[in-house]
Amino acid sequence: MNTMISIAFALALSVVQTVQDDGNSQANSNDSAKVTQKSESAEVAKLKKDPLYPFIAKQNKLVERNGTEYIENEANLLILANKDYLMQSTYIPSDLVRPNVEFSFGNADIEKAKMRKVAGTALEEMFKGAKAAGYELYAVSGYRSYSRQEEVYQAEVKAKGEAKAGEAVAVPGTSEHQTGLAMDMSAKSAGLALSAAFGETAEGTWAKENAHKYGFILRYPEGKEKVTKYEYEAWHFRYVGKDAAAIIYKNNWTLEEFFEHVKLLDDKLKKAEQA
């Protein structure tokens, strides 16, 4: 009898121990999962602290129409319009204004005297900054509609041929001028012309070195022709906002290179979130 009781007690003790072991194992597994989850969350949190993180949402969003991809979020202040990303012919910014700055053509209230409001305000500040530093800048050409770009492009094709024209003049739909965020500028020391000579002037040098403080970048810098696919344009400045401009200037990037790095960060973040 005592032997049977001892055996029953031993079996019961074994079952209890097994349950405890299973419980501990499950607890350890849960603890391990929590640690892994915390580690993953830490990685995501780290990526979200990257200065480029806010710009992930500012990437081009594309839509296909009649077999061609177009930029859908055209009103995006960080729109990347180039030979690879097209705007639709119907896009016209809704907030075009005439900045209160000096223009090379005087006071004429014409299409190219306009910019989107936020860019126009920033241009006014930039020109004030230049004047305070002892330099006088002149705005030459801002907004350009799709139809006007078509005229400019066809004139260049007629003068230089299609292959050569594409190096200097944007195909309609790919011009930053259609965004209303770009302004060509010059100075009297450069004859108010849009030429590489402007980049050699004191005014052009000041503009290149200080534009980022006002939210602008030199859009087609020298030595980056293979990246932008355009010739060097010392006169073409593009508004992107102070935060983006500071990053681009610091890293000596083009807008294309800026968004290449934004895309890399976006990919890393998605991978970390899915892990």
Count CB-CB contacts under 10 A for residue 236: 21
- Quote the DSSP letter at residue 235: E
Among 267, 248, 249, 250, residue whose Cα is nearest residue 258: 248
Contact indicator for 253, 261 with CB cutoff of 8 Å: yes
CA-to-CA distance for 36 and 14, rounded, in angstroms? 33
In angstroms, the Cα distances linking 222 to 36, 216, 229 are 47, 16, 11
Separation between Cα atoms, residue 41 and residue 149, nearest integer Å: 48
Rounded CA separation 242/88 (Å): 27
Hunting for tokens 């810098």 — which residue is that?
221
Tell me, what DSSP letter sits at residue 161?
Answer: -
Amino acid identity of residue 27, one-letter, is A
> Which residue blocks in the chain are alpha helix, DSSP H?
2-48, 117-132, 146-160, 162-168, 202-210, 225-228, 242-251, 255-274
Residue among 233, 256, 257, 273 flagged as catalytic: 233
Catalytic site includes residue 102: no
Burial class (CB in 10 A: 0-12, 13-18, 19+), 121: middle
- Residues with a catalytic annotation lie at 233
